[in-house]
Amino acid sequence: MRIGAHVDQADPLAEAAGRAAEAVQFFLSDPQGWKAPKPREDAHRLRTAEVDLYVHAPYVINVATLNNRIRIPSRKLLLGHANAAAEIGAKGLIVHGGHVNAGDDLARGFDNWRKTFAYAADSGGFPVPVLIENTAGGENACARRLDALARLWDALGDHEVGFCLDTCHAHAGGEELLDLVDRVKAITGRIDLVHANNSKGGFNSGQDRHDNLDGGTIDPDLVVAVIRAAGAPVIVETPGGMSGQAADIAFLRERLGTGA
């Protein structure tokens, strides 16, 4: 089980070393912007590193929406980030499940996800696994609650798609962590990555506010139990910079008995 953290994109390998991390996740461009990622001068060094790399797509991407001005550039940007992630040897591209606006038919959001994979297939497909992440808020979200997630997976059909389980998002989104892995796998058949985060917001609060593993409103034992059951690589997206995340990584290694 590889354990790491979300880090600054400038020098991910140095950030990994400072945290004693075996994996890192980072952005390839402004997470709040629409600019395509630029080629990285350190691509070869990243590709050949022993640290596992994951790329998080920008937050602005929403391929589910019925708004053409957001959906169409979202598809293009997602594929662009997948290609850039492949260039550095990333093991996956994480993207939020997205949502439709109030009053819109959520079924069309699921179908827009299907069309996103069809769009990518026209260019040869996504070159790295796309890992859809559950989200914390929104009543019109495609991946907040498991009933919606099941409809999303049905819509995607035979397309190859992975899943990233965020413990903070699940808790704040109204899903109990107890036996959550079994319930998710009954839908997706897989969990490719765990975002191990505690939550500042309460259960079903809809608040996407991460906390360190020994803080927040989630019993840390439940987070550890999710990780153990998932058996997937782990990324902490917790506050406190290098020291805070290093402490969370050490906490998980001690509780999971994995060592450094």
123 membership: H or E segment, kind and range = none
On the 0-12 / 13-18 / 19+ scale of CB atoms within 10 A, 248 is: buried
pTM equals 0.97
The alpha-carbon radius of gyration of the chain (Å, integer) is: 17
pLDDT over 80 at 259, yes or no: no
pLDDT tens string 176-229: 999 999 999 999 999 999 999 999 999 999 999 999 999 999 999 999 999 999
Q: Whole domain around residue 202: which residue ranges?
A: 3-239+246-256
Residue 260 — pLDDT band, cuts 50, 70, 90? Answer: low
CATH of the domain at 112: 3.20.20.150
Q: Which residue is associated with the tokens 């630029």?
A: 38
Task: Give me the number of domains the chain comprises.
Answer: 1
- DSSP character for 40? P
Q: What average pLDDT does the segment 125-147 reach? A: 97
What would the two tokens of residue 15 be? Answer: 């950030």
Identify residue 227 by its one-letter amino acid code. I
Quick check: 23 and 15 in contact, CB under 8 A?
Answer: no
Cα separation, 9 vs 25, in Å, equals 8
